[in-house]
Structure 1
Amino acid sequence: MPVPATTPPPRTLLRERVFATLRTAIVDGTLEPGERLVDAELCSWLGVSRTPVREALSRLEQIGLVQVRPGSSTIVSPLDVRAAVEAQVVAASLHELAAREAVPLLKEPDLARMETANDAFADALRRADVEAAIAADDDFHGVLVELCANRTVISVLDDVTPLLRRMERVRFATLAGRASVAQHRTILEHARQGDAEAAARETRANWLTLVPPAG
């Protein structure tokens, strides 16, 4: 018999909300690298019980955003260039795959979305608005990820991208980030021409410029 359709239980939705809120707070710097995370304080801030907070911290540990010391304390993971470089390689490969699969599917409205996102990206960098720059960069690459419709790509990127976003905040706050505007234009040009391989190659190169090699 068919499995009955059911509404996800509130507990699941609450757990996801707590996880997403804490992840965002770490990535945007609200919770700073090395900061000690106290369960009671987090519960009070989020207005939830200890269980969803502990579940969220466990997931955040798995993706490298917090460090849990059993019997001692939990802290926001310090910025780790090596970990970011490792995440960068994975992200670059997955965005390359997304571009290769998505370019043949692009329609004019999709290309227009990418162009608009890159214009917004360039404007945000000129205004030194890091949050807006990150959002616009997400919008640009998100068109290709969305169109490729590969659930594994989307799931893995959801895990590795937060590690990169912490480094990206530094890059987009400097003149170095402005090179991405031109790289996006090159990707878009290849996409308009229907050259999936060239667009994929440039997309990979774009992601590999984000974090400097670990010393």
Structure 2
Amino acid sequence: MDDVSAPLPIRPRQLIRDQVFATLAEEIIDGVRPPLEEIRDQDLQAEYGISRTPIREALNRLADLGLIEVSTNRFTRVAPVDLNAQAERVETAVAMIGYCAAKAVPTYTDEQVAAMEAHITGILATDLAWTTNREGLALWYALWAELVLSARNQTMVDILDGRLAMHLTRTVPDQPVADDLEVYMRASLEQLRALLHARDGQGTRALIEQLFLRSVIEPLRAEATAE
């Protein structure tokens, strides 16, 4: 009798190509497949027990996203992490989130403010020094996702969730932030709370831009320069 509790490499009830894409993307983002690791079709065929066609479809999608590099008849490999490109991606994300803040926050209902406040309270209840790790980032992403979704701009949601988030979670610090940055982040969250209650869209936008600049963009630029 088959062991139905045994873990499967890919989840059922999805298109096979989507299962392969999701699994490979997660392995790349988590570092299970490090930069420049070669990816061979035949190895994936053996691992998943499937044909070459859905594998190539998944790899083409990963290449379109920039998570892998393909050189015809030479190699298919995990793309290296370009820190300057990462900083530019963050700047793009900030521009989108800031736009949504300016548009949506002035129209917020009490319920929407309360929903944002719940995310802020959740972040403040954690050790802020470690909220730049993967678990902590999930809390920050939930906060910004709430804001972007409230602007009802599906195009921005698709870009942020479908493209930028995958890249940005590849560069996650493995150490706590400096004490002064932790203090700044805490103060910014409290200020954000006040701005939301005031329905100040432009103030929220300015705060978000400065918060991302200091906590993400400047560290990425500094690390890129140091390499």
**CA contact 1:120–1:133 (8 Å) conserved in 2:** no
* 1:57-76 → structure 2 map (5 Å cutoff): 57-76=59-78
1:188 to 193, 212, 224: 193
Counterpart of 1:159 in structure 2 is 163
* Structure 1: distance between partners of 2:201 and 2:208: 10
Shift of 1:97: 1.0
TM-score (norm 2): 0.77
Where do 5+ consecutive residues of structure 1 fail to align? 1-9
Shift of 1:114: 2.6
Shift of 1:125: 4.1
TM-score (norm 1): 0.80
SS at match of 2:169: helix
Amino acid in the other structure paired with 1:136: L
* Structure 1: distance between partners of 2:209 and 2:153: 17
Shift of 1:132: 1.6
**CA contact 2:89–2:164 (8 Å) conserved in 1:** yes
Shift of 1:131: 2.5
Residues 128 and 185 (structure 1), Cα distance of their counterparts in 2 relative to 1, 3 Å cut = closer
Count, aligned residues: 204
**CA contact 1:124–1:132 (8 Å) conserved in 2:** no
* Structure 2: distance between partners of 1:165 and 1:142: 15
**CA contact 1:96–1:200 (8 Å) conserved in 2:** yes
* Structure 2: distance between partners of 1:161 and 1:13: 22
Shift of 1:18: 2.7
SS at match of 1:36: coil
* Structure 2: distance between partners of 1:173 and 1:72: 37
Residues 106 and 48 (structure 1), Cα distance of their counterparts in 2 relative to 1, 3 Å cut = farther
Residues 174 and 196 (structure 1), Cα distance of their counterparts in 2 relative to 1, 3 Å cut = same
Residues 181 and 30 (structure 1), Cα distance of their counterparts in 2 relative to 1, 3 Å cut = farther
SS at match of 1:143: helix
Q: Which has the larger radius of gyration?
A: 2
Counterpart of 1:7 in structure 2 is none
* Structure 1: distance between partners of 2:49 and 2:107: 44
* 1:124-139 → structure 2 map (5 Å cutoff): 125=128, 130-139=133-142
* 1:142-157 → structure 2 map (5 Å cutoff): 142-157=145-160
**CA contact 2:29–2:166 (8 Å) conserved in 1:** yes
SS at match of 1:74: strand
**Mean alpha-carbon deviation: is it higher for 173-182 or for 146-155?**
173-182
Where do 5+ consecutive residues of structure 2 fail to align? 1-11
2:143 to 140, 144, 147: 140
Residues 191 and 54 (structure 1), Cα distance of their counterparts in 2 relative to 1, 3 Å cut = same
Q: Could you report, residue by residue, the CA deviation over 1:174-206 in whole angstroms, capped at 9, with x for unpaired residues?
A: 214734443333223211210011111212222
**CA contact 2:130–2:177 (8 Å) conserved in 1:** no
Using the aligned pairs only, state the percent identity: 28
Counterpart of 1:82 in structure 2 is 84
